[in-house]
Amino acid sequence: MEAMRKNDFSQGSIAKNILSLAIPLTVAQLTVVLYNVVDRAFIGHIDAVGRDAFTGIGLVMPITYIINAFANLCGTGGAPLCAIARGRGDDKKAARIMGVSFTFLLLLGAALTALFYLFHEPFLYLVGGSPETVFHAKQYLLIYLAGIIPVMIGLGMNPFINAQGFGKTGMMTTLLGAVINLILDPLFIFVLHMGVRGAALATVIAQACSAVWALAFLTGKKAILRLDRSSLGLDAKILKRICGLGLTGFTFSVTNSVVQALGNAQLQAYGAAAGMGDLYVAAMTAIVSVREIIFQPIRGLTQGAQPVIGYNYGAGQYSRVRKSIQFLTAACLTYNLVIWLLVLAFPHIFILLFNEDPALLEVGVKTMRIYYAAYVMMSFQMIGQNTFVALGRARMAVFFSLLRKAALVVPMMLLLPRLWGLGAYGVFASEPVSDAVGGIACYTTMMLTVWREMKQPDVPPGANQEEPVEA
């Protein structure tokens, strides 16, 4: 019984509970990002073809976002439900939720692998590719697709490790793969002269190692919730709840894919007349790559808080839910303010990480300052959205995810290039609009609903509680 009650988030310091998950989770997520970002950095410095190859990898990014979306559907959908079930003392139900998520993840991975193998080339041209850049994109993608299921296992099952309170183990899942990728990338690309193909092969091998590590833990004796045959299979009722809650993470990644694809296509269209289409796509690839890196601590903090918020909500400790939101707000704003100022002050340093082409540097500095103009406001979006997820409020979380990207960024990408002669620069200007409007709307709504609800008295320990119903 003592082992089953391990990692009780209703006790101890709120900040300590959140950071104990958030810090290793941040490291883990940074390493996931590094799988792709390190590839781009090495590829961007290949002699003679660096910029075209780097731009080609930018075309692959919408596909990686889609893969991440389906992994998030299972992981961010099932893990908060696990946390709530654990808070109620129902570890058997929590294990079943994890098993259903894993089964569904494998089926989705197989379907995505087949789909992208069949239709990858027309997709690459659709998202803004040119013959020169598609050539490099295909070299990378056809090998990368072999690692779809391993990367989905690593991304989709790590939230279940963290939901049990094993943040350091979750960190090791991806840290192992990142180290292997970092070693193999220069070996395959430059020493063995495999170029873009070498980067893809290194990533696939690294992802496979991460997946093996995650499964070894979840099927082993140290896990509180074990992945075994009795928990596997599909359950319509559980799957419906997983998909409902997982729609937030899914929507976030899918809309990122749509925005990246539309952005690349718009940049090609408005840059074509001056022969700068590929250059603008390269600049966007660098800017988004930087965002992927600097965004992870915020993602780690907010997702690290999810099990703590969900557990305390399930246990009826509403005062601790409020304290969690307060800590999350202060931590996220402090970090994002510092990062925001650094990016605006020194954009050239970040561009040089990926390519040293003078033309790319000139365009990249201008567009980066536009793109990040309101980045600090994105903190409010992440705090509010992840609070809704932690409490099982799927509809609210999905709404604000769609508001920020689908309802704000997409129309702005189509409209702003036509106004005031902005052209391609209008594509980059759509992002700060969504950061400001989406962030304020999401956080305000969370304070007017969840915060007010959490002012009710705490439930005494041991008291029976009803299953949470989505508001």
Tokens of 456: 């009710």
Tokens of 100: 């259903």
Percent of the chain with pLDDT over 70: 91
Task: Using alpha carbons, list the distances in angstroms from residue 423 to 141, 181, 407.
Answer: 30, 38, 21
The mean pLDDT of the chain is: 81
Q: How large is the angle between the packed helices 167-186 and 195-218, nearest 10 degrees?
A: 160
Residue 77 lies in a domain: yes
Residue 161 lies in a domain: yes
- Per-residue pLDDT at 465 exceeds 60: no
The pLDDT assigned to 7 comes to 58
Q: In which band, very low, low, confident or very high, does the pLDDT at 441 lie, cut at 50, 70 and 90?
A: very high
Burial 291-328 (b: 16+ CB within 10 A, else e): bbebbbbbbbbbbbbbbbbbbbbbbbbbebbbbbbebb
Residue 7 lies in a domain: no
The pLDDT assigned to 274 comes to 65
Task: Using alpha carbons, list the distances in angstroms from residue 42 to 34, 55, 76, 133, 420.
Answer: 11, 13, 31, 16, 38
CB 20 within 8 A of CB 167: yes
* pTM of this structure: 0.71
DSSP, res 13: -
Task: Using alpha carbons, list the distances in angstroms from residue 7 to 12, 165, 223, 350.
Answer: 10, 6, 12, 39
Nearest to 284 by CA among 249, 252, 259: 259
The pLDDT assigned to 295 comes to 86
- Per-residue pLDDT at 176 exceeds 50: yes
Q: Rounded mean pLDDT of 220-244?
A: 81
Among 40-49, 70-79, 427-436, where is mean pLDDT lowest?
40-49
Q: Which segment, 33-37, 139-143, 250-254, is predicted with the most confidence on average?
A: 139-143
Q: Which segment, 23-32, 104-113, 123-132, 402-411, is predicted with the most confidence on average?
A: 104-113
User: How many whole angstroms separate alpha carbon 284 and alpha carbon 295?
Assistant: 16
CB 382 within 8 A of CB 299: yes
Amino acid at 144: Y
Instruction: Express each pLDDT in 256-291 by its tens digit.
Output: 778 878 888 888 788 776 677 778 888 888 888 888
Residue 465 lies in a domain: no
The structural domain count of the chain equals: 1
- Per-residue pLDDT at 60 exceeds 70: yes
Residue 365 lies in a domain: yes
The residues, any chain, with a CB within 8 Å of residue 150's CB and separated by 6 or more, are: 204, 207, 208, 210, 211
Task: Count Cβ atoms within 10 A of the Cβ of residue 461 and give its class: 0-12 exposed, 13-18 middle, 19 or more buried.
Answer: exposed
Q: What is the domain range of residue 180?
A: 14-453
The pLDDT assigned to 342 comes to 92
Residue 1 lies in a domain: no
Of 112 and 78, the structure prediction assigns the larger pLDDT to 112
Residue 53 lies in a domain: yes
- Per-residue pLDDT at 43 exceeds 80: no
The pLDDT assigned to 49 comes to 56
Of 396 and 224, the structure prediction assigns the larger pLDDT to 396
Q: In which band, very low, low, confident or very high, does the pLDDT at 1 lie, cut at 50, 70 and 90?
A: very low
The pLDDT assigned to 422 comes to 83
Q: Rounded mean pLDDT of 198-226?
A: 84
Residue 251 lies in a domain: yes
